[in-house]
Amino acid sequence: MYEREAYAGTEQRLVLAFDLGTIFSGVSYCILNPGVVPEIEGVNRYPAHQEYVGRNCKIPSVIYYDQYDVPRACGAETLQPSVVDEAEEHGWVKVEWFKLHLRPKTMKAFAPETILPSLPGAKLACEVLADFFGYLFRCARTYIQEAHDEIRWETLEDNIHFVFSHPNGWGGPQQKVLRKAAVLSKLIADDEAGHFRMQFVTEGEASLNYCIHQGFVPTGASTQFVSKGAIVVDAGGGTINMSAYSLLPRDMRFEEIAESQCVFQGSAFVTQRAKSFFQAEFMDSSMEGDIPQMVEAFDKLAKVTFANETSMAYVKFGRLRDNDPKRNVRNGKLAISGSRVAGFFRPSFDAIMDAIVIQIEKARSKEHITVVYLVGGFAASEWLFRSLSEHLRFLGITVFRPDKHSSKAVADGAVSFYIDKFVKSRIAKHTYGLSTGVLYNPNNPEQLGRTLQNGICGLNSDYGAFSTVLSKGSTVQQSSEARTRHWSHAVQTDGLDSIKVNVYEFSGESEAPRWMDRNTDFKTAFTVRADTKNFRNKYWRSFQMILVFEAAELKAQVCWIADGKEVRSPAQIIYHD
């Protein structure tokens, strides 16, 4: 198992990691004390938690709102019969799956039979998230104060650092919403100091950190992982995240060796397909009112224990007097053929296998994948584990999963990400660049017939050229910088104290072309705004655009040369999605 070193900081600090799941959410934390080896712990107690969720360290991602859009119950509280009765009496709105309202427009959303629940009234996604983040924070604060009577919260609350995990397929636009929700819930201030206390990590990378922290992924120099690659599959309720890594033996750190994958085929969609079956089978029957109990019973037990297609699965939902031989119901227990239950799982399994195969192919040039580590709540499924093991064995790949319940993998791994920094490099998922001007050259046949622009400086410029800042599939080191030279000349005298530069994404499969106006695969990814008051020549501005890669987050700067020295200015990234 990995042996962590003592915390080298000079002051006490609290790290809180929020794992916002589609179905369940949780919080892990670490109190960092100077000279003490950090220990990751979980928030294991919430209101109504023990009675209605049991020993699970997570709570339902559910909120009840009243008619004024005020949250009335959250998490395990929403399972209390008294709350359910009050919600029905007063017409409260039950909000769930709200995380998926943040999904990127480019990602395939859901299975055809699934409809995403709407948000209440005029509530925005960031406002719902803010309500739930505030609830998680209050629960974490209460738990930590009760579990650690030696700490003084008032001295710690100004030095709390947050780690928010999100699916592999999410990026800047989703991070903007998460950060806004953190500001609305008063977790951080909306300024540079507040933003500094909030970091992001992908659920895939957090899961790798969890596996290392648990001793599940070996880091010793003599292990097989040194010369081979592995894929970590974080199988959750809504999303499945796949990430491929290899171990760098020189410094015992990991590098990502293929673009991470994310699919919307988590365990919740298995339950949704079972629900569709129950509705088709029992609609307009005497047991129609028992369908919710069937769904709950399947989700809690049958889905987890079902192992193979040759045996029957049983869903105990009713009373001993409940019998319907035509529908295979005896003594309140529904018998379902193994082949039908396997059909509930099949779309999720196929999506996972397709993503794994893609990663194997993309990683082939760097490492040969020999191991898959399966974690997350969906990893508890015996059928999923056996099916992946059987199919991947033919590819020479072994599937492992932790002995311990790994539903807290992302939350614990997110804290480990903050402390340990195991991943040294990552694979870029996008090609970014600038639309830049090129001085007109009448001898260049590519520029013949192109539209030119004449600025105050009197120079003819050919705009529309694409200057690549970052190429998709390239390896990006932690905190590394990608630069490209950019220049502009003003066509008017207004607005010379700042500059806004659009950064474009090329979504094509081939290498990015030279001219943007000759290809339809470009779109504006974000805009970088920078202060240029200190530029000596504001009409002709030559500078470098710098993109800084901080784990899952992208930051920007601009720099220029003044008196022979490099001058930098922070820049703001404005996402349009």
Based on the fold, state whether residues 137 and 61 are members of the same structural domain: yes
**Is 6 within the bounds of a domain?**
no
Looking at the predicted structure, is the pLDDT value of residue 437 above 70? no
Give the rounded percent of residues in the chain with a pLDDT score beyond 70.
85
The range of the structural domain enclosing residue 48 comes to: 13-203
pLDDT value, residue 320: 87
Mean pLDDT of 554-559: 86
Based on the fold, state whether residues 333 and 351 are members of the same structural domain: no
Looking at the predicted structure, is the pLDDT value of residue 82 above 80? yes
Is residue 468 within 8 Å of 503, Cβ to Cβ? no
Least confident window among 79-88, 107-116, 269-278: 107-116
pLDDT value, residue 53: 55
Backbone region of residue 157 per phi and psi (left: phi > 0; alpha: psi in -120 to 50; beta: other values): alpha
DSSP reduced 3-state for 203: helix
pLDDT value, residue 546: 85
**Is 211 within the bounds of a domain?**
no
Backbone region of residue 486 per phi and psi (left: phi > 0; alpha: psi in -120 to 50; beta: other values): beta
Based on the fold, state whether residues 489 and 414 are members of the same structural domain: no
Based on the fold, state whether residues 380 and 488 are members of the same structural domain: no
- Among the three residues 329, 344, 359, which one is the final residue of a domain in this structure? 344
Q: How many domains does the chain have?
A: 4
Give CA separation, 452 vs 449, 458, 496, 503, in Å. 9, 12, 22, 21
Mean pLDDT of 394-419: 88
Least confident window among 83-87, 96-100, 240-244, 516-520: 516-520
pLDDT value, residue 221: 44
Mean per-residue pLDDT of the chain: 86
pLDDT value, residue 184: 97
Looking at the predicted structure, is the pLDDT value of residue 225 above 50? no
Residue bearing the bigger pLDDT, 357 or 408? 357
pLDDT value, residue 549: 86
Mean pLDDT of 538-566: 79
Q: Which two tokens stand for residue 353?
A: 């296998």
List, in sequence order, every residue forming a beta bridge with 501; answer none if it has no partner: 528
Band of residue 224 on the pLDDT scale cut at 50, 70, 90: very low
Per-residue pLDDT tens for 164-174? Answer: 999 998 999 99
Q: Which two tokens stand for residue 194?
A: 């507040």
- Among the three residues 312, 344, 376, which one is the final residue of a domain in this structure? 344
Band of residue 1 on the pLDDT scale cut at 50, 70, 90: low
pLDDT value, residue 187: 97
Say how far apart CA 372 and CA 384 lie, in whole Å: 13
pLDDT value, residue 535: 63
Say how far apart CA 512 and CA 484 lie, in whole Å: 15
Three-state SS letters, 173-211? HHHHHHHHHHHHCCCCCCCHHHHHCEEEEEHHHHHHHHH
DSSP reduced 3-state for 446: helix
pLDDT value, residue 240: 95
Residue bearing the bigger pLDDT, 543 or 255? 255
Mean pLDDT of 54-65: 84
How far from chain centre, in Å, is Cα 283? 37
pLDDT value, residue 399: 94
Based on the fold, state whether residues 97 and 184 are members of the same structural domain: yes
Least confident window among 254-258, 326-330, 354-358, 507-511: 507-511
**Is 3 within the bounds of a domain?**
no
CATH of the domain at 84: 3.30.420.40
Per-residue pLDDT tens for 7-48? Answer: 999 999 999 999 999 999 999 999 999 999 999 999 999 998
Q: Which residue type occupies 272?
A: Q
Looking at the predicted structure, is the pLDDT value of residue 515 above 80? no
Based on the fold, state whether residues 331 and 195 are members of the same structural domain: no
Q: Taking the model in full, what pTM does it have?
A: 0.89
Looking at the predicted structure, is the pLDDT value of residue 127 above 60? yes
Looking at the predicted structure, is the pLDDT value of residue 49 above 80? no
Say how far apart CA 481 and CA 469 lie, in whole Å: 10
Based on the fold, state whether residues 155 and 298 are members of the same structural domain: no
pLDDT value, residue 538: 54
**Is 61 within the bounds of a domain?**
yes
Looking at the predicted structure, is the pLDDT value of residue 534 above 70? no
